[in-house]
Amino acid sequence: MKIEIEVRAFGEVEAQGTSGAHKGVELMHVHNLSKDTTLGEVETLLSTLFEEVESGYKNPQQNLGKITIRAKKENGEIVYVG
């Protein structure tokens, strides 16, 4: 099963000569996992990506994560896309 994990960090920053400047960082990793993978293991992968984003962007105002599993039903069975 293929999952996509995205993390976005963003917030207002001070930039000389501007007002209302914002910074954003976005990372996405794709993982091929077995169906036996637990939610806790997926959460660990998400946590690792949060740490990676935070290492390059200290104290963002918002730090959001999203996990996507793409699937379709084909011939009566679920097929994972990707």
pTM, to two decimals:
0.80
Helix, strand, coil % over all residues of the chain, rounded to 5: 20, 50, 30
Q: Where are the alpha helices (DSSP H) in 1-82?
A: 39-56
CA 56/CA 76 separation, integer angstroms:
45
Quote the number of domains for the chain. 1
Please tell me the total number of residues recorded for the chain in this structure: 82
**What is the per-residue pLDDT across 58-81, written as a single tens digit (0 to 9) for each?**
888 899 999 999 899 999 999 888
Cα distance from N-terminal residue to C-terminal residue, the chain: 9
CA 68/CA 30 separation, integer angstroms:
10
Domain containing 67 equals: 2-80
pLDDT of 57 above 90: no
Confidence of residue 35 (pLDDT cuts 50, 70, 90): confident
Structure tokens at 25: 């960082």
